[in-house]
Amino acid sequence: MASHKLGRTTEDIKRELTAILRELKDPRVSGKMISIVRVEVSRDMSYCKAYVSAMEGLPAAKEAVKGLTSAAGFIRREVGARLSLRHVPAMSFEATDSIEYSANISHILSELNIKDGDEDGTENADEAENGDE
């Protein structure tokens, strides 16, 4: 039963962190396309680690983490005000390159799809020409 509550709380914290992230005025955070990829909350709900990724890559994510770390107290207070938690966990942030990695995979897959589509298109055109004759 406790794992369900921890999972719900983790998702709530992730949702609120994403909203708070959009409201921050720190130039290290506000000018970039940043996303909270994953949130881990300890079982006793005293620590929370948020994994941050940026579309621009890992260096941009690391720069955003510096801004988020400096605003950790404000973020913790905002999470506490928005969620009714008995104890608001201490926030820590870690940079990850998962968005850049997934965008690269998506690009590779779309290139493969285009190549497959070209081959299918030529085969269909040949079949249409043969059917017309």
pLDDT digits (tens, 9 = 90+) for 11-46: 999 999 999 998 888 888 887 888 999 999 999 989
Q: Which pLDDT value is given to residue 1?
A: 43
**Are 28 and 15 in a shared domain?**
yes
**Are 60 and 50 in a shared domain?**
yes
**Are 85 and 23 in a shared domain?**
yes
Contacts of 80 by beta carbon, 8 Å cutoff, 6+ apart: 88
Q: What are phi and psi of 28, to 5 degrees?
A: -70, -20
User: Average pLDDT over the chain, rounded to whole?
Assistant: 84
- Residue 85 pLDDT level (bands cut at 50, 70, 90): confident
Q: Is the pLDDT of residue 125 over 80?
A: no
**Residue 122, Cα to own-chain centre: how many angstroms?**
39
Helix (H, G, I), strand (E, B) or coil at 35: strand
**Are 20 and 79 in a shared domain?**
yes
Q: Which pLDDT value is given to residue 133?
A: 44
Look at 6-15, 28-37, 59-68 and tell me which has the smallest mean pLDDT: 28-37
**Are 25 and 7 in a shared domain?**
yes
Q: Which pLDDT value is given to residue 119?
A: 58
Q: How many domains does the chain have?
A: 2
**Are 75 and 102 in a shared domain?**
no
Structural domain harbouring 89: 2-96
**Are 112 and 86 in a shared domain?**
no
